[in-house]
Amino acid sequence: MLPAPLTMEVRRGAIAQLGALLSDSRVATSGRVAVAVGVSQGDKIAEVIAPSLGEARVFRVPDGSVDAAVSLGADLRKGAYEAVIGIGGGKTIDATKYAASLAGIPMVAVATNLSHDGICSPVASLVHDGGKPSFGVPMPLAIMVDLDFVHDAPPALVRSGVGDVVSNLSAIEDWQLSNAERGEPIDGVAVSMARTAAEAVIGRGDSIESDAFLTVLAESLILSGMAMVVAGSSRPSSGGDHEILHAVDQLFPGTSNHGELAGVGAAFCFFLREDAQRLDQVTDCLRRHSLPVTPGDLGLTTEQFIAAVMLAPSTRPGRYTILEHLRLSETEVRTRVEDYVRAVGR
């Protein structure tokens, strides 16, 4: 049987209905539940949930670091909570996922923006020692997306989710390449889920202003996370595109955001594959949603992007992607990056 969340809801007013979810004895039997919220939206969220969650203890998560997650995990253990609800963006949800795993309790994810596919994934990306490593965690027990909060989130963060889910197409190509060249086992169900998620978004003509588009984007990001659960790794949603992303994070922290970096990484990897059709599809989609396409759009110089591409394979040792396959020298990387900018920049 495929793993699946207890419930998945994408709608307006979802947070206000948390009480109904928690009445399900599969989440909590005694009702002793903690709530974790981020700093920026914490007061507003606490006000909205108060009528349905009563005396639930609200913890503030200061950032998306390992230290913040470990601190929250210690509080959850001391309080003997049955479950924790993480409400917020990617940093808050990832920190809460890791804290819940440390405390040994289930976690409910309630997303207030759609910046990346971490809503449902079995991975928590947290800041630690100057980097942002990924930690394996159980997937959330239940998932909710509140479209009222998503509409209020910074548009750039919501659009970035498009870049992250579309990058699945590049990751799938890398997984299939590794299967052909290295004999790496490939999970067809996970591939199908990740591809379906990306294809559902890439061709749509509407955008984040409409509930219809946000619903599809939310479902696609959740499906992408479930593909990782099925695969047992991030393979169906993370390839050379994410290697470049992680290299940028290491070398030039604070550059853009996860989804925007993933989108540019995917476009560049399709350029390396000389797949003109997919390259056009991806870059057209990124432009349609006002997302970066070139290194300059990200705020990176050509030299910085070259450095990131050179470092990228070392960020995921053992993972085989188009970057490892081509094994480009620095001179060759420079030529490809410059050619890419000329081809897609306008």
One-letter amino acid of 203 = G
Residues sharing a CB contact under 8 Å with residue 65, sequence separation 6 or more, in sequence order = 95, 126, 127, 128
Please state the φ and ψ torsions of residue 53, each to the nearest 5 degrees: -110, -5
In 3D space, the residue among 35, 246, 65, 228 whose CA is nearest the CA of residue 138 turns out to be: 228
In this predicted structure, what is the pLDDT of residue 25?
66
In this predicted structure, what is the pLDDT of residue 16?
80
Please state the φ and ψ torsions of residue 253, each to the nearest 5 degrees: -55, 145
Q: Which SS3 state, helix, strand or coil, does residue 223 take?
A: helix
One-letter amino acid of 195 = R
Rounded to a whole number, what is the largest CA-CA distance in the chain?
63
Query: CA 342 to CA 330: how far, in whole Å?
Result: 18
Full DSSP string of 17-79? GHHHHHTSTTT-SS--EEEEEETTTHHHHHHHHHHHHTT-EEEEE-SSBHHHHHHHHHHHHHH
In this predicted structure, what is the pLDDT of residue 188?
96
In this predicted structure, what is the pLDDT of residue 19?
74
With 0.85 as the threshold, say if the pTM is over it.
yes
Please state the φ and ψ torsions of residue 26, each to the nearest 5 degrees: -75, -15
In this predicted structure, what is the pLDDT of residue 1?
44
What is the residue-level pLDDT of the chain in tens, covering all 346 positions?
A: 455 666 788 999 888 877 777 666 677 666 688 899 988 777 788 778 777 666 678 899 999 999 999 999 999 999 989 889 999 888 899 999 999 999 999 999 999 989 888 888 888 889 887 777 788 898 898 899 999 999 998 999 899 999 999 999 999 999 999 999 999 999 999 999 999 999 999 989 999 999 999 999 999 999 999 999 999 899 999 999 999 999 999 999 889 999 999 999 999 999 999 999 999 999 999 999 999 999 999 999 999 999 999 999 999 999 999 999 999 999 999 999 999 999 998 6
| CB distance 8 to 143 below 8 Å | yes
* CA 321 to chain centroid: 19
In this predicted structure, what is the pLDDT of residue 54?
65
In this predicted structure, what is the pLDDT of residue 9?
86
Query: CA 252 to CA 4: how far, in whole Å?
Result: 36
In this predicted structure, what is the pLDDT of residue 26?
72
The strand ranges marked E within 68-191 are: 83-88, 107-111, 123-125, 134-136, 142-146
Q: Is the dihedral of CA 314, 317, 320, 326 positive or negative?
A: positive
Query: CA 187 to CA 235: how far, in whole Å?
Result: 10
